[in-house]
Chains A and B, each alone.
Chain A
Amino acid sequence: MAREVWITGIGLTSSLGEGTEAHWQAIAVADPPRPKVDATSFAPYAIHPMVPLEFEKQIPKGGDRRQMENWQRVGTYTAGLALDDAGISGNTEILANTNMVVAAAGGERDLMVDQTILEGVGSAPQPAEFINERLSNDLRPTLFLAQLPNLVAGNIAIVHKVTGSSRTFMGEELASVSAVEIAARRIAADQGDVFLVGGAILAERKDVLLVLAGAGWGWHGDPVSVWARPEKGGGATLGSVGAFLVLEAREHAEKRGRTPYARLGTVLSGRSRREPGQAVAVATGQFETLRREAGDRSLGVLSGATGILQPTREERDWLAGLKAEGAIDTVRAMPNMLGASVEASFPSMVALAALSLSKKAFYRSIDDTGFEPSATTVPDAIAVNVWGSWRGEGMGLVLPA
């Protein structure tokens, strides 16, 4: 007696703009679509930079804005767009019972403080003491709060008055899958009627790029199609994305007269140790479940492939096999347009899948490898597939409402 999960609100911010319409125009209407890339500011890495946002539109109090760094501001701002879109902003009764599941990493470091310490510590007679002294004198008290992952949810509660249960998941791409999965399962099982689910990442952060670099995952220079990257050494181009969904029990949405973008079907998170073939084995099991659930509907795929060598190659070959079997139709790797968006990856692509179904049209492609031919028909349902850069395989089914 599982309850249906409806997607009744979408908040999206990225290099392509703000809101669903801007994203639709940029990826589905513009011909050809043009990704927005900054290849110089963080060279050798390019990024997809966040469009300028007028934070005061969603975070009116200056005091609130000052308590956050940009990553939390983007999350809080984008969450506000989703609440607006679902028509529940300001509805204190619903907001008090709206639950959050946020996917997050840590916040910004103070790069100037780190710079000062690294420049000075080498010549300090007592290095550890030097670091203590600088940190004690130079760190801003508010920065710590801006670094805590759960303070995205905390700020959403303060700014937008979302005060139901509140959980923050960490763990890169997989956290973004689990966040949607857990929210959907709780709705289906009557453990909550309304959920605000999502995450945010800012690519224009050198502390984030350092991890990408150290893991050997950074793509150098101008982006090329992610499907072309495995043969060129592999690598991801990060993109700034904020993505929040309002998920709602069907009866709750109907009672307040809302029509959804789409219905969220099964979401499955999985894991493997990523020895060759293991990710495909996990994904194959997930796909069988989703394919069955989709029935005789044609199935498009939005992929989170980032271009990192092993997972991208394995996913590409696996999807090619599914296409050859006729199990899926058209594939679109969204990171070609948005960049790799880690904690925002799964919710952003579920949002784009729901948008596509509500528009009854599909996305264009900028892939030049031949892997993403133009869609001749509009898919009846969309599978969203996200594999983590390091670990975690997740898939979700988005169906017409």
Chain B
Amino acid sequence: MASKVRDSRGRPVVAITGMGVVSSLGVGLDENWSALVAGRSGIKRITRFPTEHLRTTVAGTIDFIEDDKGDLKLAIGELAADEAVRMARIGTPGDFPGPLYTAIPPVELGWAARRRLYDAGDPGIKDAYDRMCAVAEGLNDRSQFERVMYGYVSEKLADRFGTKGSPISLTTACASGATAIQLGIEAIRRGEAAAALCVGTDCSVTAEEVVRFSLLTALSTANAVPEEAAKPFSKNRDGFVIAEGAAALVLEDYDAAVARGAEVLAVIRGAADQNDDFHRTRAKPDGSAMIDTLRQTFDDAGMHPDEIEYINAHGTGTPENDKMECFSLEAVFGERLRGVPISSNKSMIGHTLTSSGALEAVFSVKTMQSGIIPPTINYKVPDPTINLDVVPNQARKQKVATVLSNSFGFGGQNACLIIAAEPA
């Protein structure tokens, strides 16, 4: 019997043994990674719907997948999960030996469906919702309404991959991907699962979603050159670029993974999340919630900030986020922060919202595996108040063995992960 590997708190160690990803840069790890290290952007002009009257007309849409599910986020979620499960070589097809945690965006009927219901209705019913209800009940199109169940994507993924127990669908806004991973970490540390499938998937580029984020002045309006719209940490950054993507990670109890001969891609040393109590879209001006989340993450990992060799930033490119992220990191890292490379994948893939924490966890592992740090592209006008090594514009060959990955979301959601090449 091999000796049990435990972390500094005596808990089971959480290994990553499989990863999958889909983004506007392509399908699969290889396609995504080669684009990221080449500094290529997946952002383009929106062609999915007319953009008249919209202030933002660029996005990181996924238009190259055949959506045979009638639900693009399910389709790409399946692709990512399939890649991760195959890579992990775990279980048998359709029989994954652990629970499923899925980060998904809120769902609702789209305008096409609303219009169909309204137009088929009795013109004598003036109230639009009364009219749609009557038609919807008459049609009894269960499959359409299953797709607006919030549990739909998770249920379908659970059906396909045969995960155990009931799947959890979750949202913590733009920190959701990290939260899905946290739930997996906690289940493995409790000893209740030897493996967990953690998925984040989001395809929210609709006209209404663009309008909603625009009304909060969160989106870049630098529409002229789409690939240059996302400018994290730059002085002229003017918002994030909405994008689509999915990522999946197979987490495993380290001992179980080693025992079955799996390749351990990385381990998760620590994680923490905390709810800010200041404002619905802004961080507390003193950064205390982000700072506490970072400190708790180090505490959970039993590590010191000096041990971090690369930071995969939340780095949305909004004036507010990048300022507060930098400020909070300075508070926790001190002077040494200047020497720690930090880059934003969102400069190339945009902000995939619900799934971004999962994509960035995957890319954090790739960074360690490949010895190449992906750049922050579009870094042309440095912000003198953000004095960081943002790995500007070009990837850098540099071996790193520990990564901090940050995720911050509306509603005061803060979540951080520390991922390392090896157990402590």
Contacts and interface: CB of A to CB of B under 8 A. Distances in A.
A66 to B, nearest CB: 11
A191 B190 contact: yes
Contacts of B215: 136, 139-141, 144
Given A175-B150, A390-B151, A391-B151, A132 B279 contact: no
Nearest to A389: B149
Interface in A355-401: 388, 390-394
B107 A122 contact: no
Contacts of B171: 104, 148-150, 168, 170
Contact of B151 (A121, A149, A166, A170): A170
Contacts of A111: 128-129
Contact of A115 (B54, B128, B274): B128
B275 A163 contact: yes
A167 B172 contact: yes
B424 interface: no
Contact of B192 (A119, A132, A185): A185
Interface string B180-197: 000100100111100000
A331 B374 CA distance: 60
Contacts of B409: 150
A109 B277 contact: no
Contacts of A178: 166, 168
A105 interface: yes
Nearest to B134: A213
Interface stretch (B65-73, B135-143, B247-255): B135-143
B410 A175 contact: no
Contacts of A254: none
Interface in A184-229: 185-186, 189, 191, 206-207, 209-211, 213-216, 218
A135 B211 contact: yes
Contacts of B82: none
Interface string B195-231: 0000000000001100111111000000000000000
Interface stretch (B14-22, B32-40, B86-94, B114-122): B114-122
B277 A150 contact: no
A129 B170 contact: no
B130 interface: yes
Interface in B312-335: none
B150 A144 contact: no
A165 B412 contact: no
Interface in B145-168: 145-146, 148-151, 154-155, 158-159, 165-168
B223 to A, nearest CB: 15
A213 B51 contact: no
Contacts of A88: none
Given A132-B207, A172-B149, A213 B412 contact: no
B166 A174 contact: yes
B172 A158 contact: no
Interface string A144-183: 1101111101110110011111111111101101100010
Interface in B266-291: 272-281, 289
Interface in A247-273: 269-271, 273
Contacts of B186: 186, 189, 191
Contacts of A218: 133, 137
A106 B280 contact: no
Given A105-B106, A114-B129, A164 B50 contact: no
B87 to A, nearest CB: 25
B278 A158 contact: yes
A132 B274 contact: no
B169 interface: yes
Given A128-B50, A149-B171, A269-B166, A154 B155 contact: no
Interface in A321-374: none
A67 B127 CA distance: 26
A185 B190 contact: yes
A214 B144 contact: yes
Nearest to A165: B273
Contacts of A170: 104, 106, 150-151, 169-171
B109 interface: yes
A154 B412 contact: yes
A158 B277 contact: yes
Given A126-B50, A209-B129, A271-B166, A150 B212 contact: no
Contact of B280 (A67, A121, A136, A207): A67
B109 to A, nearest CB: 7
A118 interface: yes
Nearest to B411: A154
A209 B127 CA distance: 13
A39 interface: no
A163 B106 contact: no
A133 interface: yes
Contact of A270 (B106, B166, B169, B281): B166
Nearest to A105: B150
B49 interface: yes
A269 B165 CA distance: 7
B322 to A, nearest CB: 21
B30 interface: no
A114 B53 contact: no
Given A119-B128, A139-B211, A150-B171, A171 B149 contact: yes
Given A139-B211, A163-B277, A168-B170, A390 B146 contact: yes
Contacts of B165: 269-271
A141 B213 CA distance: 8
Contact of A171 (B54, B127, B150): B150
B173 interface: yes
B137 A161 contact: no
Contacts of B376: none
Nearest to B410: A148
B53 A171 contact: no
A94 interface: no
Contacts of A206: 127, 129-130, 133
Contacts of B117: 214
A171 to B, nearest CB: 3
A97 to B, nearest CB: 10
A392 B190 CA distance: 23
A215 B168 contact: no
B413 A144 contact: no
Interface of A: 45, 67, 100, 104-106, 109, 111, 114-115, 117-119, 121-122, 126-129, 131-133, 135-136, 139-141, 144-145, 147-151, 153-155, 157-158, 161-172, 174-175, 177-178, 182, 185-186, 189, 191, 206-207, 209-211, 213-216, 218, 269-271, 273, 388, 390-394
26 contacts: A114-B114, A114-B128, A128-B50, A131-B111, A131-B207, A135-B207, A148-B173, A154-B280, A163-B289, A167-B170, A167-B179, A170-B171, A174-B151, A178-B168, A206-B130, A209-B133, A210-B109, A211-B109, A214-B141, A215-B142, A218-B137, A271-B158, A273-B159, A390-B149, A390-B155, A391-B149
Given A115-B127, A215-B142, 6 more contacts: A141-B216, A163-B275, A163-B277, A182-B168, A206-B133, A213-B137
List 3 A-B pairs, minimum CB-CB distance, nearest first.
A154-B411, A171-B151, A214-B136
